[in-house]
Amino acid sequence: MLPSKLLVSIICILAILGFVAISSTKEYTAGVIVAACTDAKQYLIDHAFDGVGESLEARSVIVYDFTHKNMLYGKNESEVLPLASLTKLMTVRVALEQESKPYYTIKDEDLLPLGDIGMQIGQQYTQQDLAVASLVASSNDAAVALSHSASLENVSFISLMNTRAKRLGLSSLSFEGVTGLDTAQTTPTAVGNAKDILKLLYTNYTDYPALHAHTKLKTAEIAPANGPILTLENTNDALSAYPLLLAGKTGYTLSAGGNLAIVWKTKTGSHMGVAVLGSSQDDRFTDAEKLYRQANTFIESFETLTASCAL
């Protein structure tokens, strides 16, 4: 719920608006209502998350209202931190933007010690299937194979990832690998801030909504052209907490801790997002759930206020 003092303030503001509307001249009323509504909306934005930050495990978070273009809450949202498997959001995007053959054949160099989902050397997968596995199961094997599936000449895939980040205006993002796995156990291979990684997730969702729809499912299936169907378990253990989820991606390494980015649609149709960096493996889900609930409560109050101001 919104802080009680904030609820009282909003109720008082609505009451004042009603009083002004019935007691003033038309010209005076319009000016007062516009000013009061502007101040009330900003007050609501500024205070909707009061008291939430102290209960979060995460080192950095952001809550953003994409529909109304408002940052609703931030905690160290510009701090550059390890991304872990949130890296795969850029891996998938860059791969899908390149030309490729209808099927990619899995090779020995695609299969890593970490990330096994059952793919075998010689099996043939579409880019779409490799992208689904990278996002839903956070498969490192699929991400490496996806990077190898792109038809590139005289440029490295990782170079393209960094170039794409700059062109999207995501200046904090920097990549040295396609999976987000640490080297030497604790050295990150990708870094960025919460603001930019959430913007990347939302941009990917808007450009590839059907692909990211898989990330709201508990399981997904991919099928090689020459092998059995693979069932993928979603790495987002808290799907039931976000019933209106549009897209999500998890991440965890020793250097990063627990990371999570989600985008959802509210009951009224607004698009909202949360990114959590530097939490724990379990608390990333509870951190995001707290912010998700608070954001939904906020948007209901904000849109009620907006409707009242329009009367």
Write down the pLDDT at residue 158: 97
- 3-class SS of residue 188: coil
Task: Give the span between the Cα atoms of 279 and 194, in whole angstroms.
Answer: 12
Tokens of 282: 């379990």
pLDDT in tens, 181-227: 999 889 999 999 999 999 999 999 999 999 999 999 999 999 999 99
DSSP 8-state class, residue 291: H
Band (pLDDT 50/70/90 cuts) for residue 310 is confident
CA distances from 135 to 92, 138, 220, 249 (A): 8, 5, 10, 6
pLDDT in tens, 131-147: 999 999 999 999 999 99
Write down the pLDDT at residue 95: 97
Write down the pLDDT at residue 302: 84
Which helix H or strand E contains 124, and what residues bound it? strand 124-125
CA distances from 151 to 39, 87, 129, 166, 303 (A): 53, 20, 17, 21, 47
Write down the pLDDT at residue 21: 53
Residues 6+ apart with CB under 8 A from 82: 180, 182, 188, 190, 191, 253, 255, 256, 257
Of the listed ranges 31-45, 50-64, 83-97, 175-189, the least confidently predicted one is 31-45
pLDDT in tens, 239-298: 999 999 999 999 999 999 999 999 999 998 999 999 999 999 999 999 999 999 999 988
Q: How many other CB atoms are found less than 10 A from the CB of residue 139?
A: 29
Write down the pLDDT at residue 112: 86
Task: Give the span between the Cα atoms of 291 and 183, in whole angstroms.
Answer: 32
Specify whether the CB–CB gap between 215 and 100 falls below 8 A: no
The single-letter code of the amino acid at 220 is: A
The pTM of this model reads 0.89
pLDDT in tens, 96-106: 999 889 999 99
**Which residue in this structure is represented by tokens 């940052």?**
71
- 3-class SS of residue 276: strand
Write down the pLDDT at residue 8: 47
**Which residue in this structure is represented by tokens 């010209």?**
27
Task: Give the span between the Cα atoms of 62 and 274, in whole angstroms.
Answer: 6
Average pLDDT, the chain: 90
Exposed / middle / buried, residue 82 (Cβ in 10 Å: 0-12, 13-18, 19+):
buried
Band (pLDDT 50/70/90 cuts) for residue 36 is confident
* Intra-chain end-to-end CA distance of the chain, in Å: 26
CATH class of domain segment(s) 48-310 = alpha beta
Mean pLDDT of 305-311: 77
Specify the length of the chain in residues: 311
Task: Reply yes or no on whether the pLDDT at 1 is more than 60.
Answer: no
Which helix H or strand E contains 23, and what residues bound it? helix 4-23
Tokens of 87: 């890296």
